[in-house]
């Protein structure tokens, strides 16, 4: 692992193991690649911290650290904004900037770890952006995270890539045979509702997506996770749970139920605790393995894109 990555520094002036002369020469010759902190928000229970970072071209991105029993998980953004336009998500609302480089994805992990002075155990690419819309940089980033010499030496099994279901790109990623977890955002038990919630479903049919998930497992030997955010009176009834269970029967998968983080103004509300529990019960009753993800960071606007949208112009520190 390189010294600057181990120490998490991104500014030549901080590389005090180099001579002053060399540090000055490097500063004069190269552009700094670190992320400037615009805002840091800590949840009241200290279980999650959200950073709003600014990139060299003033694009803004969000990164979230979450504390779990097994260690700290870092959720990064793969794009500044998102083109996918899911109806419940804030990421598309503040406009689209650009795809991030693999270095900018890596910097989110290294810099966030440095800011809290802790080791990151897991990385999820589930923040703003559709990671498979930025596939080349994504693959480079995953390999860099894994690399013990030039990266963090992180196990692929501790990396999760989320997608809204770009089937062709899923199969390109499968060809890399990296033992990562693929997490497919489903959020509906059928094509009709999925089209209403996620415009991408008009391009990739529900049934084809489930078939591609099976193909992923065949090619990589890894089961997929389906993400299902529960919205009150939209997709959270027992009937819908039964329909989902019937669609997933025979699929080697896991369902991750998410009590939705509400985004003001979008018209979606989180399901009640009772509804969430009964949805999970119904899936389990029909043999579908489902767990409930802990909802962290309600008081730090943890749903992706919210902070970027709220603070488009605040001054960044360190620019
Ligand atoms: S849910 Fe994901 S894919 Fe959909 S708009 Fe938000 S960031 Fe993009």
Strand segments, DSSP code E, in the chain are 36-42, 48-54, 60-68, 71-75, 79-80, 98-99, 120-125, 159-163, 181-185, 224-230, 253-259, 290-292
Q: Is 75 in the pocket of ligand 1 (CB under 6 A)?
A: no
Instruction: Give me the tens of pLDDT residue by residue for the chain, a chain 319 residues long.
Output: 444 445 656 677 878 888 888 888 888 877 666 799 999 999 877 789 999 999 999 999 999 999 988 899 999 999 999 999 999 998 888 889 999 999 999 999 999 999 999 999 999 999 999 999 999 999 999 999 999 998 999 999 999 999 999 999 999 999 999 999 999 999 999 999 999 999 999 999 999 999 999 999 999 999 999 999 999 999 999 999 999 999 999 999 999 999 888 788 899 999 999 999 999 999 999 999 999 976 655 555 555 666 666 655 555 544 3
What's the 132 CA to ligand 1 centre distance in angstroms? 11
For the CA of 82, the closest atom of ligand 1 is: 8
What's the 184 CA to ligand 1 centre distance in angstroms? 11
Residue 304 known to be catalytic: yes
Q: Is 188 in the pocket of ligand 1 (CB under 6 A)?
A: no
Pocket test for ligand 1, best of 86, 95, 129, 185 (most atoms within 8 A of CB): 86
Cβ within 8 Å of residue 203, ≥6 positions away: none
Distances (CA, A) of 202 to 133, 153, 184, 192: 16, 39, 16, 9
Q: Is 304 in the pocket of ligand 1 (CB under 6 A)?
A: yes
With 0.75 as the threshold, say if the pTM is over it: yes
Residue 74 known to be catalytic: no
Integer Cα distance of 173 and 234 in angstroms: 32
Pocket test for ligand 1, best of 128, 161, 199, 308 (most atoms within 8 A of CB): 128
Helix axes of 135-146 and 102-116: crossing angle, nearest 10 degrees: 40
Helix axes of 135-146 and 167-174: crossing angle, nearest 10 degrees: 30
Q: Could you tell me which residues are beta bridge partners of residue 292?
A: 257
Q: What is the pLDDT of residue 2?
A: 47
Name the region of 19 (left: φ>0; alpha: ψ -120 to 50; beta: rest).
Answer: beta
Q: Is 109 in the pocket of ligand 1 (CB under 6 A)?
A: no
The order of strands in the sheet holding 253-259 is 36-42, 48-54, 60-68, 71-75, 120-125, 159-163, 181-185, 224-230, 253-259, 290-292
Integer Cα distance of 52 and 313 in angstroms: 11
Q: What is the pLDDT of residue 318?
A: 41
- Measured over the CA atoms of residue 33, residue 37, residue 38 and residue 44, the dihedral's sign is positive
Is residue 224 within 8 Å of residue 216, measured between CB atoms? yes
Please tell me what DSSP assigns to residue 317: B
For the CA of 164, the closest atom of ligand 1 is: 3
Integer Cα distance of 187 and 258 in angstroms: 9
Helices (runs of H) and strands (runs of E) counted in the chain: 10, 12
Please pick, among 62, 104, 130, 282, the residue that the annotation labels catalytic: 62
34-310: what CATH class? alpha beta
Q: What is the DSSP string of 211-265?
A: HHHHHHHHHHS--EEEEEEEBTTTS-SHHHHHHHHHHHTT--EEEEEEEPPP-TT
What's the 165 CA to ligand 1 centre distance in angstroms? 11
């Amino acid at each position: 692992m390189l010294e600057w990555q181990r120490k998490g520094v991104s500014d030549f002036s901080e590389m005090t193991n180099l001579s002053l002369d060399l540090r000055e020469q490097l500063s004069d010759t190269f552009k700094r690649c670190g992320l400037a902190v615009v805002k840091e928000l800590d949840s009241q229970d200290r279980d999650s911290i959200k950073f709003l970072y600014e990139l060299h071209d003033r694009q803004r991105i969000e990164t979230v650290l979450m504390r779990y029993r097994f260690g700290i998980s870092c959720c990064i953004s793969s794009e500044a904004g998102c083109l996918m336009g899911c109806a419940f998500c804030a990421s598309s609302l503040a406009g689209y900037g650009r795809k991030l480089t693999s270095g900018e994805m890596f910097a989110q992990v290294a810099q966030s770890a440095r800011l809290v002075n802790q080791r990151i155990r897991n990385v999820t690419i589930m923040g703003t952006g559709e990671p498979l819309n930025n596939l080349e940089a994504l693959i480079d980033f995953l390999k860099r995270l894994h690399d013990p010499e030039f990266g963090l030496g992180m196990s692929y099994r501790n990396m999760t890539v989320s997608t809204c279901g770009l089937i062709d790109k899923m199969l390109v990623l499968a060809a890399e045979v990296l033992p990562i977890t693929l997490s497919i955002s489903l959020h509906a038990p059928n094509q009709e509702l999925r089209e209403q919630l996620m415009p991408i479903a008009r391009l990739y049919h529900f049934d084809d997506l489930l078939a591609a998930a099976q193909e992923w497992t065949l090619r990589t030997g890894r089961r997929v996770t389906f993400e299902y955010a529960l919205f009150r009176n939209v997709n959270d009834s027992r009937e819908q749970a039964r329909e989902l269970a019937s669609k997933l029967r025979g699929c080697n998968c896991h369902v991750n139920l998410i009590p939705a983080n509400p985004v003001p103004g979008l018209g979606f509300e989180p399901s009640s605790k009772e509804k969430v529990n009964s949805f999970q019960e119904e899936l389990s009753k029909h043999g579908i393995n489902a767990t409930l993800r802990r909802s962290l960071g309600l008081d730090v606007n943890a749903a992706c894109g919210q902070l970027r949208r709220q603070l488009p112009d605040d001054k960044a520190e360190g620019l």
